[in-house]
């Protein structure tokens, strides 16, 4: 395939692991692993080996048999009488044998230089010095014109961080190259097969020839083959760079592609196998140095972050809620991830620390994270806009976030923010320029330094900082779970105590009713029977009777109150107009001498327990009648209306009112805001109203002013039809 036949648009999808051909500096044999029969051969076997495929396989048979018996690991073979460098490996059900001519000229043994380099790497050497030393040694051993240490960033753009050369080629030090220069499938091959050599970018590919029985089978997978042919697009890229030969060696850290040692020469250049192996050793030594430096940096940061984590745990332990604990230690919270701001969202509200967006903006951000399934626990980005969230109310304050989702059920979040850091990046050529000729897109031709200001990005989040966020989230979840367990146990204990208290109250109230009735009855009998009693004795008997009556009413109210906690609601349609009219008729005898202006609106019907709701109206209207006694005339307004989610009912009067500072006491048991000498009552009526309404899923409220009247309301949700 000629370079002009390939469009750059398809480069990213090109199956480069199955090129169907090899480079002419080597030859390929494909054998059956069962009996080592020849399945495919490259067309140049005789030119490279000096004999045909069958002849070289016959010579290699003892070595191949021993190799099979050893477990089929990749290895090098020797063909007696043939000056060849031979490599063999098993892949995809085929034995792959690579043949290259051995170097004819005498070569210096690189062992001494490699030993000195390894000792240098083992010493206390700065990482930048180690990268430069590796590039220099690669140039000395391989005789390439230039060697680069090329590091990938998080977006797979490349950055030349070290360089050595003889001055033949231009310097690329500190230049950056876009991710598209090395597509994803090429990076994957670099990860799997760490070394690739291209001695001449103008080579003509040598095809693989399949024997009859191989016709129609899947093409040979050359993932682990060093002499495989490469993409014509890459060869064009090399020529545009002014290089006709190259060698790339992968730098792998913990199995991940960190970067490359990339070598170039202006003219064709072959590198013998032994030198390539030495260069590969340098790359692996450098990888160990980079990995050790990275782990040491992460560990050092981790120690400091661990100390900060401990301080945050102590702050949370001192507070009743985890979110208050974090908000109470703002400097420590920001230092944990070296952030400029943070926001805490919990069921208790919103807290902002440092330079963070406002609550509405943060809630839009967390909603976006939830809807896109981005953050199941921890999510980090240094460019929100590139991630798809382009809300200026957030990005004006912060371009990078580190977000922890504490709870999915309660939508609790902890989010750190970092501001924009404007950077000037120098690229090796304009990465945005598209070269189109003859109807197709070509690799770019210019690699001159091209500067660009990078915006909408924050400083990147360090691996240790992301790890610290994970650890803090785990601690918060543990604290929340422990407190939830404590609350659950407390709730269970309270529920048990309430049931016991209700049972006790019911029992005592029930048992006290008869004695109080007896006291009232016998006091009245004694008054009627002893007609000669003096006035004082009669007064004493009346006080006994009145007190017993009041105590009896209190017992009755307590009995009703305690019974409400256990009674089952008899739900049905309730005509509130009818209930109010019944209550007014029941009070008519008591207020026949009063001047009361009644204003009763049309009350909407509801669903609930009619008997209990009648009790609500009775207590509220009776209170209005009682506390308007000093007014002439008294005014009592009763109304109701639909509201969002239910119905709202009101009883408003022009009575003595109350001080709103004591509103919290209104609906408590035995809580009175007026003197019992001035207004009769047991102090349970409004508590009874509250319990009945809450049993219906509703709520009560009140407003008032001293000597200016009061308004009592209760809300009932719309209950579904049975």
pLDDT at 96: 96
Q: Which H helix or E strand runs over 545?
A: helix 535-564
Write out the DSSP string of 134-168.
HHHHHHHHH--SEEEEEEE-TTS-EEEEEEEE-SS
CA distance 341 to 358: 11
Mean pLDDT score of the chain? 84
Contact between 342 and 415 (Cβ < 8 Å): yes
pLDDT at 434: 54
Q: Which H helix or E strand runs over 454?
A: strand 449-454
pLDDT at 415: 94
Q: Bridge partners of 341?
A: 354, 417
Distances, alpha carbon 593 to alpha carbons 73, 489, 584, 588, 627, in Å: 111, 56, 14, 9, 16
Contact between 573 and 720 (Cβ < 8 Å): no
CA distance 431 to 180: 9
pLDDT at 670: 46
128-147 average pLDDT score = 95
Q: Bridge partners of 426?
A: 451
CA distance 511 to 234: 99
How far, in whole angstroms, is CA 257 from its chain's centroid? Answer: 25
Q: Bridge partners of 91?
A: 94
pLDDT at 320: 83
pLDDT at 397: 83
pLDDT at 554: 53
Cβ count near 57 (within 10 Å): 21
Residue 425 has pLDDT above 60, yes or no: yes
Contact between 198 and 238 (Cβ < 8 Å): yes
Between residues 10 and 458, the one the model is more confident about: 458
pLDDT at 246: 97
Distances, alpha carbon 506 to alpha carbons 513, 613, 651, 690, in Å: 11, 21, 30, 19
Residue 334 has pLDDT above 70, yes or no: yes
- Weakest mean pLDDT among 28-32, 45-49, 439-443: 439-443
As given in the structure block, the two tokens for residue 82 are: 């043939």
266-293 average pLDDT score = 93
Residue 343 has pLDDT above 90, yes or no: yes
- Weakest mean pLDDT among 232-236, 490-494, 524-528, 555-559: 555-559
- Weakest mean pLDDT among 33-37, 416-420, 489-493, 540-544: 489-493
pLDDT at 193: 94
Would you call 356 exposed, middle or buried from its count of C-beta atoms within 10 A (0-12, 13-18, 19+)?
A: buried
Q: Bridge partners of 367?
A: none
- Weakest mean pLDDT among 131-135, 192-196, 458-462, 478-482: 478-482
pLDDT at 720: 61
CA distance 547 to 469: 67
Residue 357 has pLDDT above 50, yes or no: yes
**506 — pLDDT class (breaks 50, 70, 90):** low
Work out the percent of the chain whose per-residue pLDDT is above 70: 81
**589 — pLDDT class (breaks 50, 70, 90):** confident
pLDDT at 502: 58
Between residues 119 and 249, the one the model is more confident about: 249
pLDDT at 136: 95
User: Would you tell me the crossing angle of helices 685-695 and 535-564 to the nearest 10 degrees?
Assistant: 20
Residue 679 has pLDDT above 50, yes or no: no
The owner of tokens 């509200």 is 349
Contact between 176 and 426 (Cβ < 8 Å): yes
**558 — pLDDT class (breaks 50, 70, 90):** low
pLDDT at 593: 86
List, for residues 222-279, the tens digit of each pLDDT value: 999 999 999 999 999 999 999 999 999 999 999 999 999 999 999 999 999 999 999 9
Give this prediction's pTM: 0.64
pLDDT at 483: 67
Residue 100 sits at the vertex; the CA angle it makes with 99 and 105, to the nearest 5 degrees, is 150
- Weakest mean pLDDT among 113-117, 162-166, 428-432, 658-662: 428-432
Distances, alpha carbon 289 to alpha carbons 116, 338, 689, in Å: 15, 27, 76
- HSE-up (13 A, CA, CB side) for residue 405: 20
Number of H helices and E strands in the chain, helices first, is 17, 29
State the pairing for strand pair 634-643/596-600.
parallel
Residue 675 has pLDDT above 50, yes or no: no
Work out the percent of the chain whose per-residue pLDDT is above 90: 49
Distances, alpha carbon 700 to alpha carbons 80, 661, 667, 669, in Å: 101, 17, 9, 15
- In our burial notation (b when 16+ CB lie closer than 10 A, e otherwise), range 357-395 reads beeebbbebbebbeeeeebeebbbbbbbbebebeeeebb
Contact between 196 and 248 (Cβ < 8 Å): yes
CA trace torsion 395, 400, 405, 411 (10° rounding): 0
Residue 181 has pLDDT above 60, yes or no: yes
pLDDT at 442: 57
Contact between 336 and 311 (Cβ < 8 Å): no
As given in the structure block, the two tokens for residue 473 are: 């989230």
Closest among 362, 359, 351 to 395, alpha carbons compared: 362
CA distance 134 to 285: 9
pLDDT at 433: 67
User: ω into residue 353 within 30 of 0, thus cis?
Assistant: no
Closest among 271, 251, 273 to 260, alpha carbons compared: 251
As given in the structure block, the two tokens for residue 593 are: 């001498």
**71 — pLDDT class (breaks 50, 70, 90):** confident
Between residues 436 and 324, the one the model is more confident about: 324
pLDDT at 486: 64
CA distance 225 to 289: 27
Residue 529 has pLDDT above 80, yes or no: no
Between residues 426 and 608, the one the model is more confident about: 608
**4 — pLDDT class (breaks 50, 70, 90):** very low
Residues across the chain:
722
As given in the structure block, the two tokens for residue 520 are: 């009232």
Closest among 632, 629, 490, 615 to 557, alpha carbons compared: 615
- Weakest mean pLDDT among 18-27, 368-377, 478-487, 698-707: 478-487
List, for residues 85-103, the tens digit of each pLDDT value: 999 999 999 999 999 999 8
List, for residues 460-505, the tens digit of each pLDDT value: 999 899 999 999 998 888 887 676 566 667 666 666 655 655 555 5
pLDDT at 681: 46
pLDDT at 682: 47
Write out the DSSP string of 163-227.
EEE-SSS---TT-EE-GGGS-HHHHHHHHHS-EEEES-TTPPPEEEEE-GGGTTSPPP--TT-TT
Residue 624 has pLDDT above 70, yes or no: yes
Residue 440 has pLDDT above 80, yes or no: no
pLDDT at 517: 67
CA distance 324 to 315: 9
How far, in whole angstroms, is CA 403 from its chain's centroid? Answer: 6
Terminal CA-CA length for the chain: 77
3-state SS assignment for residue 559: helix
- HSE-up (13 A, CA, CB side) for residue 214: 18
pLDDT at 630: 87
């Amino acid at each position: 395939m000629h370079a002009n036949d390939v469009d750059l648009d398809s480069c990213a999808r090109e199956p480069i692991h199955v090129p169907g051909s090899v480079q002419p500096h080597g030859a390929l044999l494909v054998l059956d692993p069962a009996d080592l029969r020849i399945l495919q051969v490259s067309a140049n076997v005789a030119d490279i080996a000096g004999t045909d495929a069958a002849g070289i396989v016959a010579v290699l048979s003892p070595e191949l048999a021993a190799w099979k018996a050893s477990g089929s690991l990749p290895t090098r073979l020797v063909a007696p009488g043939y000056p060849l460098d031979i490599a063999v490996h098993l892949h995809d059900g085929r034995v792959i044998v690579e043949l290259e001519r051995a170097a004819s000229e005498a070569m210096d043994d690189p062992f001494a230089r490699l030993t000195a380099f390894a000792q240098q790497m083992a010493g206390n050497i700065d990482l930048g010095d180690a990268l430069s030393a590796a590039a220099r040694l690669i140039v000395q051993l391989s005789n390439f014109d230039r060697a680069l240490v090329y590091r990938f960033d998080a977006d797979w753009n490349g950055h030349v961080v070290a360089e050595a050369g003889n001055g033949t080629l231009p310097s690329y030090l500190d230049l950056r190259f876009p991710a598209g220069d090395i597509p994803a499938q090429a990076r994957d091959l670099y990860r799997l097969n760490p070394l690739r050599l291209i001695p001449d970018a103008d080579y003509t590919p040598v095809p693989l020839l399949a024997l009859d029985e191989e016709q129609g089978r899947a093409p040979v997978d050359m993932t682990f083959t060093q002499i495989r042919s490469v993409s014509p697009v890459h060869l064009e890229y090399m020529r545009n760079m002014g290089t006709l030969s190259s060698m790339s060696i992968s730098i792998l850290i913990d199995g991940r592609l960190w970067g490359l040692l990339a070598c170039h020469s202006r003219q064709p250049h072959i590198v013998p196998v032994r030198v390539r192996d030495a260069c590969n050793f340098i790359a692996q030594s450098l990888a160990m140095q980079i990995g050790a430096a990275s782990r040491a940096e992460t560990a050092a940061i981790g120690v400091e972050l661990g100390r900060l984590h401990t301080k945050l745990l102590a702050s949370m332990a001192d507070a009743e809620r985890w979110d208050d604990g974090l908000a109470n230690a703002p400097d420590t919270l920001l230092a944990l991830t070296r952030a400029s701001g943070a926001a805490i969202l919990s069921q208790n509200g919103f807290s902002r620390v440092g330079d963070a967006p406002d609550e509405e903006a943060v809630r839009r951000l967390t909603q976006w994270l939830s809807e896109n399934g981005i953050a199941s626990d921890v999510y980090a980005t240094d460019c929100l806009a590139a991630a798809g969230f382009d809300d200026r109310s957030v990005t004006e304050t912060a371009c990078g976030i580190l977000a922890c989702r504490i709870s999915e059920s309660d939508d609790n979040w902890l989010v750190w923010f970092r501001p924009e850091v404007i950077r000037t990046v120098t690229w090796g050529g304009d990465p945005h320029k598209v070269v189109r000729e003859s109807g197709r897109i070509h690799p770019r031709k210019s690699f001159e330094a091209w500067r660009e200001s990078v915006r909408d990005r924050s400083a990147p989040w360090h691996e240790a900082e992301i790890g610290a966020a994970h650890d803090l989230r785990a601690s918060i979840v543990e604290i929340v779970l422990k407190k939830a367990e404590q609350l659950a146990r407390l709730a269970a204990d309270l529920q048990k105590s309430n049931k016991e208290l209700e049972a006790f109250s019911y029992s005592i109230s029930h048992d006290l009713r008869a004695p109080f009735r007896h006291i009232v009855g016998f006091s009245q009998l004694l008054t009627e029977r002893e007609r000669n009693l003096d006035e004082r004795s009669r007064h004493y008997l009346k006080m006994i009777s009145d007190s017993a009556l009041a105590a009896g009413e209190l017992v009755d109210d307590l009995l009703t109150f305690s019974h409400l906690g256990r009674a089952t609601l008899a739900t049905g349609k309730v005509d509130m107009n009818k209930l109010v009219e019944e209550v007014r008729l029941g009070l008519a005898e008591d207020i026949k001498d009063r001047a009361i202006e009644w204003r009763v609106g049309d009350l909407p019907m509801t669903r609930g327990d009619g008997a209990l709701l009648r009790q609500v109206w009775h207590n509220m209207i009776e209170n209005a009648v009682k506390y308007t006694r000093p007014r002439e005339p008294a005014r009592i307004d009763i109304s109701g209306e639909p509201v969002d989610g239910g119905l709202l009912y009101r009883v408003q009067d022009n009575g003595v009112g109350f001080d709103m500072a004591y509103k919290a006491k209104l609906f408590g048991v035995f809580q009175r805001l007026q003197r019992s000498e001035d207004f009769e009552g047991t102090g349970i009526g409004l508590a009874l109203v509250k319990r009945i309404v809450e049993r219906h899923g509703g709520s009560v409220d009140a407003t008032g002013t001293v000597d200016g009247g009061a308004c009592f309301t209760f809300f009932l949700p719309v209950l579904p039809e049975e």
